[in-house]
Amino acid sequence: MVRALSGLHLRLRTAGELVGPCWRCLGDARVAVAMDATEFAADGRPPDAPFDDDLDSVYLEDGRLDVKTWLRDSVVDALPATILCREECEGLCATCGTPRADGCDCVQEVTDPRWSALGEISERLKREADH
């Protein structure tokens, strides 16, 4: 915290590790998370002034800083879009539910069955071209 003529400049820096299930295979995942957040609260604001994102901090009220809420919000902002056990995780087999890294004997269909109508048209056009 730095007090300046214009107000309070606040900074929150910390790091940690998130532990939970992988979003692809449901195995154990660990993700390093680093937070570096800043807030500003202007001095001299009238008590009845409407909240201003540039001049007020949602974490500072009546001179008390809500570090717990600020830290929680900072962790959420620092999380990656997906939490994976490893970047190359292949997820679960769609047929048997086994993690693909463990292997399974299921035959993986290469094409989407919704495209079969186009395959049939292609075969018909080939037959017609041969005649």
Judge if 85 and 35 occupy the same domain: yes
Asked if residue 65 and residue 45 are part of one domain, the reply reads yes
Domain count, the chain: 2
Is there a contact between 36 and 45 (Cβ–Cβ < 8 Å)? no
| Percent of the chain topping pLDDT 90 | 47
Per the structure, the complete domain to which residue 14 belongs is given by 2-89
The answer on 83 and 96 residing in a single domain is: no
What is the distance of C-alpha 66 from the center of its chain? 24
Q: What is the pTM of this model?
A: 0.63
Q: Note whether 45 and 73 are same-domain residues.
A: yes
Residue-wise pLDDT tens digits, 12-22: 999 999 999 99
Find out whether 100 and 91 touch, Cβ atoms under 8 Å. yes
73 and 20 both lie in a single domain: yes
pLDDT interval class at 109 (50, 70, 90): low
My answer on whether 82 and 102 are in the same domain is no
pLDDT above 90 (res 66) = yes
